[in-house]
Amino acid sequence: MIDKDLESRRRLSSIRSSRDLLPFVRANAIEDVSLYWLGVRGFPIESRQKRWILAFLENLTGELKKEKQAVETFLQLKYTRTDLNERFTNTMFEYRPMTGILIAPGEQLPEHLTSLEAKRLTESHGPDGTINLDHLVPDYCAWFAGSQDSDQRRDFFGVGGMLTIWIDEGQEPSPLQFDLPRVIRTHPAMKGVDFEGQMRRGMRLQHPFLKRSREIFASHLPDGPVRRHALFVLPRLRSHHFIEATPETRKKWFEIFSGYCIESETDKGILLALKDPLFDEKLIGIIDAMREKDQEYPA
């Protein structure tokens, strides 16, 4: 239930918001969270639109950091079969991606393939001999659990498979403080190894959002390995999921994150959702600051 003060402030700002939010469009049918859509010309996103969106996400992350929100970046692994394949392979040692599951609300995991279905599948390959197996495997998703989110967006954003969320920072345990023996630190095999970074990454594995994500987004799945042991389970949300969900369901989703941004080929653009139902003014502030730097979105 939205209180009267909140509703009054929304009405006072609605006229300005709808105009000044451009190029974003707000879903006014939803009042308990802020949901926005940014259209793109297609996927992969053309270079000028991509540059603007990357700059926007950088500014948005800076704004949310003021509210003690940390950014986390993810990539649907099926998109690494595109032109991203070489880049993903070459950055694996640097980014150390860890794998979890992306799943739409209410969606079930693919069932095991029977021998008859396998036979039909091999007989239905395309003219080039390829077989699409996407419907047979879960939507695996890589988590880049580090502090290089800007580089990760530059490397992987724009093809259609990137997800960004913002979560409460500082909930994971602090890294242990100890001095590595000099013989290890100076060994030639250890050259270039970021020991502190690896310690921080290890601590991220104890962040409560990981376990909580399974509890919320895998609760409808049968008891099994994914529900029990997946590192994380996050939602693959489209605009209709937000609109069709009840306020209670959306509230549950936002127990995990305060912000959610996903490339959506289905929606022909970028979806951005914030837990704050009055985020318009902050979003307008980011857009205005970009306009002052002559950063206009090439619609």
C-alpha to C-alpha distance for 291 and 55, rounded to whole angstroms: 12
C-alpha to C-alpha distance for 299 and 5, rounded to whole angstroms: 35
CB 201 within 8 A of CB 99: no
Which stretch of DSSP H or E encloses residue 269? strand 269-274
User: Looking at the domain assignment, is residue 286 inside a domain?
Assistant: yes
* Helical residues (DSSP H) of 82-159, grouped into ranges: 85-90, 92-95, 115-123, 149-156
C-alpha to C-alpha distance for 251 and 163, rounded to whole angstroms: 19
Number of structural domains in the chain: 1
User: Looking at the domain assignment, is residue 266 inside a domain?
Assistant: yes
pLDDT of residue 170: 77
DSSP secondary structure string for all residues of 146-188: SS-HHHHHHHHTTSS-EEEEEEETT-SPPPP--PPPHHHHT-G
User: Looking at the domain assignment, is residue 239 inside a domain?
Assistant: yes
- What letter would DSSP give residue 32? S
pLDDT one-digit tens code per residue, 106-148: 999 887 666 566 566 666 666 666 656 566 678 999 999 778 9
pTM as predicted: 0.84
Q: Output phi, psi for 164, to 5 deg.
A: -130, 135
User: Looking at the domain assignment, is residue 257 inside a domain?
Assistant: yes
Query: Which residue from 258, 285, 287 is spatially nearest to 274, judged by alpha carbons?
Result: 258
pLDDT of residue 215: 94
pLDDT of residue 18: 80
pLDDT of residue 32: 97
C-alpha to C-alpha distance for 279 and 283, rounded to whole angstroms: 6
Give, in degrees to the nearest 5, the angle at Cα 174 between 168 and 179: 155
User: Looking at the domain assignment, is residue 198 inside a domain?
Assistant: no
User: Looking at the domain assignment, is residue 112 inside a domain?
Assistant: no
Residue identified by tokens 């909930």 is: 171
Domain that residue 224 falls in: 9-106+135-171+207-292
Contact residues for 245 (Cβ-Cβ < 8 A; gap 6+): 105, 253
C-alpha dist (Å) from residue 258 to 119, 209, 245, 246: 46, 12, 17, 17
Residue identified by tokens 């250890």 is: 190
pLDDT of residue 275: 98
User: Looking at the domain assignment, is residue 259 inside a domain?
Assistant: yes
- The sign of the dihedral angle between the CA atoms of 113, 116, 119, 123 is negative
CB 272 within 8 A of CB 38: yes
* pLDDT beneath 70: ranges in the chain: 1-17, 112-136, 172-181, 183-185, 189-203
C-alpha dist (Å) from residue 64 to 83, 168, 208, 279, 286: 31, 10, 19, 11, 11
User: Looking at the domain assignment, is residue 176 inside a domain?
Assistant: no
